[in-house]
Structure 1
Amino acid sequence: MLPRPRRRGIYVLPNLFTLAALFGGFYAVVMAMNGRFEHAAIGIFCSMVLDSLDGRVARMTNTQSAFGEQMDSLADMVSFGAAPALIVYEWALKGLGKAGWIAAFVYCACAALRLARFNTNIGIVDKRFFQGLPSPAAAALVIGFIWVADDSGLTHVSTLAFWPWVTCAVVLYSGLTMVTNVPFYSFKDVNFKRTVPFIVIVLIALGLAIVTLHPPVVLFGVFCVYGLSGYVVYAWRKMKGQHVSVIATSTDEPDERGLH
């Protein structure tokens, strides 16, 4: 009698982080539907933290898997693609009519394209840089903008004359920047297993203290700087005559060597 084939299981720990990140995106959409945009913003930012941890936890515990990679991409599409698009539409863009939902769809589509390109180019891109703005950072720009405005007491934005168009510009910038070839630093070369000087821990504690002063403004400011940093790096490399592509090697897939 032949032995029964062993069933393939999944690793629990990293996928718990991924599921929690997915829940954050779902929670944010539900809060936005109920007009609680501050809670929606907190849900997206919590998803960002959890999304940054699942991959590191998998590598540190040696529990990487193809299932985990696919699960992570699907959760990212919900939390940083569909959820921000729906939230920003409910907050401001529905006041623009057809132009509003088109802008929201452009952002959602760009997030899907960015994630698909990331998955297919994962073996040929310089690990130190992202090819285009990563989707969590794009979501942080859109949701951070909403959080700052909501925190300042701005309500019923979709009925105003000026703010929906400003929001539309932020959404289009965030979405289209995701599908550019502009390099954004990935922080993946930071090794948390190495020893660091004592001052580094002090600076981290200081950074956390600064965030707690006014989370909406500080977090939105940080991601605004990051959202512009790729273009600064691109312009600097262009001025120096350096290679600006993040593609490390050639491939048989369609050519995507970046802007030169």
Structure 2
Amino acid sequence: MMDQESEKHLEPDSHMTDDEAPKHRRKAIYLLPNLFTTGALFAGFFAILRAIQGDFEQAAMAVFVAMILDGLDGRVARLTNTQSDFGVQYDSLSDVISFGLAPAVIIFQWSLNGIDDRWGMLGAFVFVAAAAVRLARFNVQVETVDKKYFVGLASPAAAAVLMGMVWFFEEHGIPFQENIGWVWIITVVTGLLMVSSMPYYSFKSVSPQIRVSFLSVPLLILVFVLALKDFPLTLWLIASAYALSAPLWFIARRVQKLRRKSS
């Protein structure tokens, strides 16, 4: 039988005014977005465990699950009007684990541990440190930068590049992990893109009313067909194209400036 003290916590406070009651209920809703953040954190933790056990395909898939949950927590917080400073900091700490540490451990266990003289460990650490620095910088600049663009490659997108690669080659049984040099370069370059100052489109301004060209329709159909045929390859190609978009745009701008000067 429930004691009297427990019953008091379940009963509505008779001294609570009508104005205080909604505030009390709103505090209780704050658990909802943090549950999604906790789910993303657990997915990252699970990915590390699966990598240690040698199941790299499931480890990569778990990181993508973390990305989905990470995308939902902010939207849920805005829909329920439960944004908080605690939620922002908790989300950043979760991102460091799920999109920094977890991909680095997976890529190290998958390939980079085969490099002598600890170069593999250094490459994986560069990715972890870059993710931590990128998230810290994002929290500091969140109120001052243009919402349409990220400064540097977002950590979930960087993780998608590495995990899409692992998932694709593991599913098809292609021993790409033996090409340790290429894996090391991809890991380090992706990490450096996170701490770069190059702008990446954030897609936060995309709406159902946005106008697109007719060329985008067959492209979307092509992506859809490719996803049905080879989903891991599609994710890897999309993530890689997004990661390369800012450097290619930067190079194109430089080439245009050189042409103008020469002319």
TM-score normalized by the length of structure 1: 0.80
Structure 2 residue aligned with 1:23, among 31, 42, 54?
Answer: 42
Query: Do the aligned partners of 1:183 and 1:234 also contact (CA within 8 Å) in 2?
Result: no
Q: What amino acid sits opposite 1:113 in the alignment? A: V
Structure 1, 227-236 or 89-98: larger mean CA deviation = 227-236
Q: Percent identity?
A: 43
Equivalent in the alignment of 2:72: 53
C-alpha distance in 2 between matches for 1:105 and 1:173: 12
Query: Do the aligned partners of 2:29 and 2:80 also contact (CA within 8 Å) in 1?
Result: no
C-alpha distance in 1 between matches for 2:166 and 2:227: 17
C-alpha distance in 2 between matches for 1:65 and 1:209: 40
Equivalent in the alignment of 1:105: 125
The offset of 1:204, in angstroms, is 7.2
Structure 1 residue aligned with 2:230, among 206, 210, 214?
Answer: 214
Q: Give SS of 1:221's match.
A: helix
Equivalent in the alignment of 2:201: 185
Q: What amino acid sits opposite 2:158 in the alignment? A: A
How many residue pairs were aligned?
A: 233
Structure 1 residue aligned with 2:158, among 117, 126, 138?
Answer: 138
Query: Do the aligned partners of 2:164 and 2:236 also contact (CA within 8 Å) in 1?
Result: yes
The offset of 1:233, in angstroms, is 2.5
Equivalent in the alignment of 1:170: 186
What per-residue deviation string (whole Å, max 9, x for no partner) do you get for residues 188-226 of structure 1?
11246x6999x9999978855542321111110111110
The answer to whether the aligner puts 1:150 opposite 2:166 as a matched pair is no
Q: What's the RMSD between the two structures over aligned residues?
A: 2.8
Query: Do the aligned partners of 2:100 and 2:159 also contact (CA within 8 Å) in 1?
Result: yes
| Structure 1, unaligned runs of 5 or more | 242-260
Q: Give SS of 1:133's match.
A: coil
Equivalent in the alignment of 1:117: 137
C-alpha distance in 1 between matches for 2:175 and 2:102: 20
| Structure 2, unaligned runs of 5 or more | 1-14, 16-22, 258-263
C-alpha distance in 1 between matches for 2:174 and 2:52: 17
More helix by share: 2
Structure 1 residue aligned with 2:91, among 64, 68, 72?
Answer: 72
Equivalent in the alignment of 2:7: none
TM-score normalized by the length of structure 2: 0.79
C-alpha distance in 2 between matches for 1:226 and 1:155: 25
C-alpha distance in 2 between matches for 1:195 and 1:174: 30
Q: 1:12–1:208: structure 2 CA closer, same or farther, 3 Å change rule?
A: farther
Q: What amino acid sits opposite 1:105 in the alignment? A: F
Structure 1, 226-235 or 147-156: larger mean CA deviation = 147-156
The offset of 1:178, in angstroms, is 0.4
The offset of 1:126, in angstroms, is 0.9
Q: 1:61–1:232: structure 2 CA closer, same or farther, 3 Å change rule?
A: same
Structure 2 residue aligned with 1:33, among 29, 47, 52?
Answer: 52
Q: 1:103–1:126: structure 2 CA closer, same or farther, 3 Å change rule?
A: same
